[in-house]
Amino acid sequence: MVLLWIDSIINNIPFLIEGLITTIVLTIISVALATLFGILLAMGRCYTRQPIPFLIYLYEKIFRGLPLLVIFFLLYFGLSQQGIHIKAFFAAIIGLVLHSTAYQIQIYRSAILAIPEGQKTAAISLGMTKSKTIYHIILPQVLRLSIPGWSNEFTILLKDTSIAFSIGVVELMARGDAITSMNPDAILYVLLFIAFLYFVLVFSINRGLNYLEKRFRISGYEMTTAR
Amino acid sequence: MHMLEVKDIHKSYGACEILKGISFNVDKAETKVIIGASGTGKSTLLKCINQLDPPDKGEVWLDGEELTNPSVDINRIRQKIGFVFQDFNLFNHLTALRNVSIGLEKVKKIDKEEARERALQELKRVGLEKQASQHPAQLSGGQKQRVGIARALAMDPDIILFDEPTSALDPELIGDVLDVMKVLAGKVAMLVVTHEMGFARNVADEIIFMEGGKIIESGTPNQMFQHPKMERTKEFLGKTSTLYGQE
């Protein structure tokens, strides 16, 4: 019996890999866009005049308050009722970006606030413009400080792509579901295998980001080894 | 015409008037030291000069250009005014060398190699060429402040403003920083806010004594220490010299 279930996984590996690739593509595009928008909007919230910070704050509050599933349904089913048809894959990307950006703004904003004001004063005293100060002095430090929080958000987003299954995006979870409906006896093993694939993905991303964090650590800021 | 002219500067924060009409001049390569009790507006005055905190009233002129005029390109003029901070304000993510070269590269648009070369010269000048590749967190307070001075010097300024450059340092390190400043005296104009009376006495061309947002008295070190005109000056300098164990 066990062999039969293993068979149903092995026979479907190419089918699962297609789903896995969609999951990865969905993750990479969404993370990249959400990171870009997150940084820009965090800068906007800290360094621009009203009403821009207030509007960003409003956006943040709204999208942190909505479940991802609701955002997906609104974009896919809600808009299509109004005659705006977005393909499921793109609706998923838009939904994930809108959702993750709202969270990521906080990550970068806390990093911005952690940088001593004096460094900005010093850069301006050298004759740097405000934008040069942000680009050369603030941003490189913000990115370093944001890696731990960002790696959290990265893994959350990766796992959230599975919700895109609900609007019909054929990603890993959707493929897993298709296999279990064809092999109802194997449901536990197939799901465990899917879970294992997600875990491996998340684990390797975290290892990679750990490396990134060490690589860009500023000398002299090593953690103490004292007990 | 003087190099730096400060004319009747007023500055308030809310209802609290910090500066109540300050006027003085600094000439080329001159060293002026501003002394006075804490909270009398000395640091505010420095920030009013390079427009980090523009004054409410009054004018600041450097080389015949009015800095307080809103239409002037202040970023260009700030390159000519070095600023050395009490708490160093080094860029934590950059090495000592890059801290010094970044202004040359990004503001003066000097080619990266040449900027490095010049930054290294400035670090030599403050005795830190060996620390060039270290980050601020790896440096002692005195070393940090010398990097701060090198960073200001690299821009080849007309004048450097020092805002209590040694008050965050222990006595041993203070000496290192003051030594560097002594060497600079007479080469570049300096306006120094400090509590180091020994430095004021030995290095200053003129001492300005401030209290309550006004200049009470100014004069050569000899005049200020030996024959102060105002009773308050006598009292202040008397207190500080007992404190520092002179005479």
Query: pLDDT tens digits for A82-121?
Result: 888 888 899 999 999 999 999 999 999 999 999 999 999 9
Does any domain span residue A227? no
CB contact (8 A) between residue A124 and residue B79: no
pLDDT of residue A180: 83
Task: Flag whether residue A119 sits within 8 Å of chain B, measured between CB atoms.
Answer: yes
Task: Flag whether residue A220 sits within 8 Å of chain B, measured between CB atoms.
Answer: yes
pLDDT of residue A28: 94
Residue ranges making up the domain that contains A198: 2-216
Q: Would you say residue A75 has pLDDT above 60?
A: yes
Does any domain span residue A226? no
Task: Flag whether residue A132 sits within 8 Å of chain B, measured between CB atoms.
Answer: yes
**Three-class secondary structure of residue A14 per DSSP:** helix
pLDDT of residue B242: 63
Strand partners for B209? B35, B217
Task: Point out the residue among A119, A129, A219 whose CB comes nearest to the CB of B138.
Answer: A219
Mean per-residue pLDDT, A19-38: 93
CB within 8 Å of chain B, chain A residues 10-69: none
Q: Which of A120, A125, A137 to mutate to test the interface with B (most CBs of B within 10 A)?
A: A125
Strand duo B57-62 + B65-66: pairing: antiparallel
* Digitized pLDDT (tens) for each residue of chain B, 247 residues in all: 888 999 999 999 988 988 898 898 888 889 999 988 888 889 899 999 989 999 999 899 988 888 888 888 898 999 999 999 999 999 999 999 999 999 888 988 888 888 899 998 889 888 888 988 889 988 888 889 889 989 998 998 999 999 988 888 888 788 888 888 888 888 889 999 988 888 888 888 999 999 888 888 888 888 888 888 888 888 888 777 665 555 4
| Amino acid letter, A107 | I
Separation of alpha carbons B75 and A129, rounded Å: 7
Token pair 């709202």: residue: A102
Task: Point out the residue among B76, B85, B103 whose CB comes nearest to the CB of A118.
Answer: B85
Does any domain span residue A52? yes
Task: Point out the residue among A123, A144, A221 whose CB comes nearest to the CB of B137.
Answer: A221
Strand duo B159-163 + B81-84: pairing: parallel
Separation of alpha carbons A169 and A92, rounded Å: 8
> Packing angle between helix A172-182 and helix A13-47, nearest 10 degrees?
150
pLDDT of residue B247: 46
How is residue A165 written in tokens?
């299954």
CATH code of the domain containing A83: 1.10.3720.10
**Three-class secondary structure of residue B226 per DSSP:** helix
Separation of alpha carbons B151 and A1, rounded Å: 74
User: If you write DSSP's letter for every residue of A119-151 in order, what string do you get?
Assistant: HHHHHHHTT--HHHIIIIIIHHHHHHHHHHHHH
Indicate the length of chain A as a whole number.
227
Separation of alpha carbons B63 and A133, rounded Å: 26
A-chain residue closest to B103, CA distance: A126
Separation of alpha carbons B43 and B86, rounded Å: 10
Q: Would you say residue A219 has pLDDT above 80?
A: no
pLDDT of residue A216: 83
pLDDT of residue A25: 93
How is residue A122 written in tokens?
């010093």
The total domain count for chain A is: 1
* C-alpha pair distances (Å), B225 with each of B189, B203, B214, B222, B234: 22, 13, 19, 5, 8
Task: Flag whether residue A215 sits within 8 Å of chain B, measured between CB atoms.
Answer: no
Separation of alpha carbons B20 and B48, rounded Å: 13
Q: Would you say residue A199 has pLDDT above 50?
A: yes
Q: Would you say residue A227 has pLDDT above 80?
A: no
Does any domain span residue A224? no
pLDDT of residue B178: 87
Does any domain span residue A84? yes
The minimum CA-CA distance between B198 and chain A, rounded to whole Å, is 28
